[in-house]
Amino acid sequence: VAPYTITYFPCRGRCEALRILLADQGQPWKEIVVTMQEWMKGDLKASCLFGQLPKFEDGDFVLYQSNTLLRYLGRKHGAYGKDDKQASLIDMMNDSVEDMRLKYMRLIYQEYETGKEKYIKDLPNDLSKFEKILSNNKGGFLVGNQISYVDYNFMDLLQNLQVLSSNCLDSFPSLKSYVERLSSRPKIKAYLETDEHKRRPINANGKQ
Ligand code: 6SG
């Protein structure tokens, strides 16, 4: 069986949640790292369905769009809730995580020098919604009582936010214990301790 393959830039970026999911599910994968120089040549870009990375391969099956990749693997590995309603709640949560990720990426790639202070000041507005969701769900995950693809995505984003602003979760105890709990799941912990993970910058422009 051909292993999963991730083709992406040399950063965590839009793929790290996916890698954490694969690690936690005990699935090996292969990385094809594309440097900016290679990407600028244009032929790989021209071959990508929407002209962007990540690209993901499961044997002959090719997919694009990072959130689609998370959902594909969530479906395949039982990390997509227990029924249609839970699956829809998980999708809803993930859409909101994506909204937050886009704001984060706008900061990192477009206005880091001018916008960081305001971004950090506004962050509790978004975080408080998730704090409430988590404190209301006794299951310990965003939805239900088993891990789903959105938990990997949210955990990755929260870790990035803690790098940006080390005390941003201090007034959100549920978020704080959620990140700690997920990142100490044995397979996730082992992955987070690899050089492969540690050496990979969060973002392609080196800002964090
Ligand atoms: C970049 O945006 O930004 N893909 C990126 N950029 C290259 O030519 N909706 C989909 C998804 O979820 C979004 C894909 C995403 O999968 S991700 C892409 O393909 C392109 O459009 C992270 C990001 N990085 C900034 C950056 C580093 C390398 C390419 C983009 C800065 C811009 C171009 C070179 C340096 Fe750059």
The per-residue pLDDT for range 140-184, each reduced to its tens digit, is: 999 999 999 999 999 999 999 999 999 999 999 999 999 999 999
Q: What digits encode the pLDDT tens for the residues 166-178? A: 999 999 999 999 9
Topology at the third CATH level for domain 4-79+191-199: Glutaredoxin (3.40.30)
What CATH number has the domain spanning 84-185? 1.20.1050.10
Q: How far is the CA of 190 from the centre of ligand 1 (A)?
A: 28
Kindly give, in sequence order, each residue whose CB lies less than 8 Å from that of residue 95, ignoring residues fewer than 6 positions away.
none
Residue indicated by tokens 């790098």: 163
CA dist., res. 132 & res. 113, Å (int): 31
Question: If you measure from the C-alpha of residue 155 to the centroid of ligand 1, how many angstroms do you get, rounded to a whole number?
Answer: 21
Report the predicted TM-score, pTM, of the whole model to 2 decimal places: 0.97
Work out the angle at residue 205's Cα, subtended by the Cα atoms of residues 199 and 208, and round it to the nearest 5 degrees: 65
Domain ranges, ordered by start, for the chain: 4-79+191-199, 84-185
Q: How far apart are the C-alpha atoms of 117 and 52, rounded to whole Å?
A: 30
CA 113–ligand 1 middle distance (angstroms): 20
What pLDDT is stored for residue 3 in this prediction?
87
- What tens digit of pLDDT does each residue of 59-86 get? 999 999 999 999 999 999 999 999 999 9
CA-to-CA distance for 23 and 79, rounded, in angstroms? 13
Is the ipTM reported for this complex over the cut 0.95?
Answer: no
| Token representation of residue 186 | 């044995």
Find out whether the beta carbon of 109 lies less than 6 Å from any atom of ligand 1.
yes
pLDDT at res. 2: 62
**What is the SS3 assignment for 183?**
helix
Q: Is the CB of 56 under 6 A from ligand 1?
A: no
From 8, 39, 71, give the residue whose CB has the most ligand 1 atoms within 8 Å, as the site to mutate: 39
Check whether 1 has a pLDDT greater than 90. Answer: no
